[in-house]
A and B are shown apart, each in its own frame.
Chain A
């Protein structure tokens, strides 16, 4: 529980829900007849609606990007370091919107939602969605909120992919795109990790083909999936610094298969904690969204052509120790934007924390986002 709410926090926030009755045609060709989008907003939309910023969340994130939902919350939203009054995404100037993606489990329609056709949870009958579908759904919410054009769309990791997709599909509906620790597509290694995570879930005896709602859920599988994910989010050096080969609570080796090392204890804890807040089916869907993302695919692998219609400006940020989406991947994005003569700034921030760095308060990274947003605000007269 926060004993008090810091001054630079957006404070207590209440989530909102938008219901859509207009069917959404998905990239797969399937239709989502109706759906809900859960979102949060911070700051105030100005009179000419020119100060709206969309924040896109990553794989295990949600719409709760900043502030507290209740005084009982142990921690603020996942990007609270970045979003708030006086922070780099300054809510004194910008109106920030964060939407839970379709297929997730935090309020927007997903596999745990009731399928209107059957009256039962969708489970694996929920259609596979893509980044393009997400952006299409976000554009509808944008209309609902009366926003003509985002001053910026900002995201890290899978969120950065959404920000990029915006400039491909709706370039005239945003000014700037901030893609942080993103990639233009997943590597074979990335997909391999996702597949192991999915197999962990799907081979759990409690999985029951995704129809586990109302019963025991595939806890072990999901926890294992999260443990695998966590290894890829941290760098080797971050793990060494954080845990080394420290034994748990200074205990001697057990000469058994219980937890000996701190790193084991940490991973098990992360796995357990995740199971309580995330739906295993959603994890399957969202990892597939990642695997499928490849805007260059329809242009014979030529990423530059994917951005041919874009007229946006870009800030691309990568982190030196991120091996999940390495700086090299951000350079590929930058090269494609440069090839289109687009206004792009790229920087690789020195940071030992691995992929997770995008969530952390790292001074040069936050200073860079602040400088970029300040410049946008200045040019837009905000």
Chain B
């Protein structure tokens, strides 16, 4: 199970805007292939999904989306260095055993990476933990603490500090509120009002592969 909260269609719009036409994309945890089918149809993108669930692979095949089965936690060893333009990881980073390792692998295989994740620093989650003293459950994070696949929840600030540590360069950031909009509050106080954070990143000058 890699798609706890399902995939927010809201982040698909941003990914579609960020990806250049005719590029080559690897979509990690591609689910039923919706994003790749959409990028193919609207931006003539070619690419592959990476997915662990066989039923999702079958559904993707039905959409004409190619999928290479792999477990992201064991890395992207099937994929050559610099073999695609973008590696996309939508709403899944927080479910990885070693998120920093996955990010490094993404930036090895792709020229750029696009990452989106639910922000545990959102005010609703802070309120739940702060007031009721319970692990937060929000529309984008609907699980209980004991059965959640989201084992590495993090905030925008956490992510950006990891990027700094790993010498990952942030090219662009988009923060969406609970309604999937990039409103003023989400823009100005992203770590509090952002429900979904999206980053376009690339290798920094000191990043060794």
Contact = CB atoms under 8 A, between A and B. Distances in A.
B78 A338 contact: yes
Contacts of A338: 48, 68, 78-80, 83
Contacts of A347: 54, 57, 67, 69
Interface string B58-81: 111110101111000000001110
Contacts of B58: 364, 367-368, 371
Contacts of B61: 315, 345, 368, 371-372, 375
A341 B67 contact: no
B24 interface: yes
B55 A346 contact: no
A368 B69 contact: no
Q: B59, B62, B67, B80 — which one has the most chain A CB atoms within 10 A of its CB?
A: B62
A343 B36 CA distance: 13
Chain A contact residues: over half helix, strand or loop, or mixed?
A: helix
Contacts of B54: 347, 349-350, 364, 368
A331 B78 contact: yes
B67 A335 contact: no
A345 B68 contact: yes
B57 A335 contact: no
A375 B62 contact: yes
Nearest to A313: B66
A350 B67 CA distance: 17
A66 to B, nearest CB: 23
A375 B57 CA distance: 13
Contacts of B68: 334, 338, 344-346
Interface residues of A, number: 24
A367 B56 CA distance: 12
A70 to B, nearest CB: 36
Contacts of A349: 54
Q: B46, B58, B67 — which one has the most chain A CB atoms within 10 A of its CB?
A: B58
A213 B199 CA distance: 73
A93 to B, nearest CB: 16
A339 interface: yes
Contact residues on B (Cβ < 8 Å of other chain), bracket: 20 to 34
Interface in B65-107: 66-69, 78-80, 83
Contacts of B59: 371
Chain B contact residues: over half helix, strand or loop, or mixed?
A: mixed
Contacts of A331: 78
A315 B46 CA distance: 17
Given A334-B78, A338-B83, A345 B62 contact: no
Contact of A346 (B64, B69, B80): B69
A335 B79 CA distance: 7
Contacts of B24: 341
Nearest to A316: B68
A331 B76 CA distance: 12
Contacts of A350: 54
A311 interface: no
Interface in A324-374: 331, 334-335, 338-339, 341, 343-350, 364, 367-368, 371-372, 374
A345 B67 contact: yes
A60 to B, nearest CB: 29
Nearest to A332: B78
Contacts of B57: 345, 347, 368
A338 B54 CA distance: 20
A379 interface: yes
Given A345-B57, A349-B54, A368-B58, A339 B83 contact: yes
A337 B89 CA distance: 23
A364 B48 contact: no
B83 A344 contact: no
Interface in A292-324: 313, 315
Contacts of A372: 61
Interface in B1-52: 24, 46, 48
Nearest to B62: A371
Nearest to B65: A345
A372 B61 CA distance: 6
A256 B60 CA distance: 57
Nearest to A304: B80
Nearest to B79: A338
A344 B46 CA distance: 12
Contacts of A367: 58
A339 B67 contact: no
Contacts of B66: 313, 343-345
B102 to A, nearest CB: 19
A179 to B, nearest CB: 14
Contacts of A371: 58-59, 61-62
Interface of B: 24, 46, 48, 54-55, 57-62, 64, 66-69, 78-80, 83
Interface of A: 313, 315, 331, 334-335, 338-339, 341, 343-350, 364, 367-368, 371-372, 374-375, 379
21 contacts: A313-B66, A331-B78, A334-B78, A335-B78, A338-B48, A338-B68, A338-B83, A343-B66, A344-B66, A344-B68, A345-B61, A345-B66, A346-B67, A347-B57, A347-B67, A348-B69, A364-B58, A368-B58, A368-B61, A374-B62, A375-B62
| Top-7 shortest CB links A-B | A371-B61, A347-B69, A364-B54, A346-B68, A345-B66, A371-B62, A371-B58
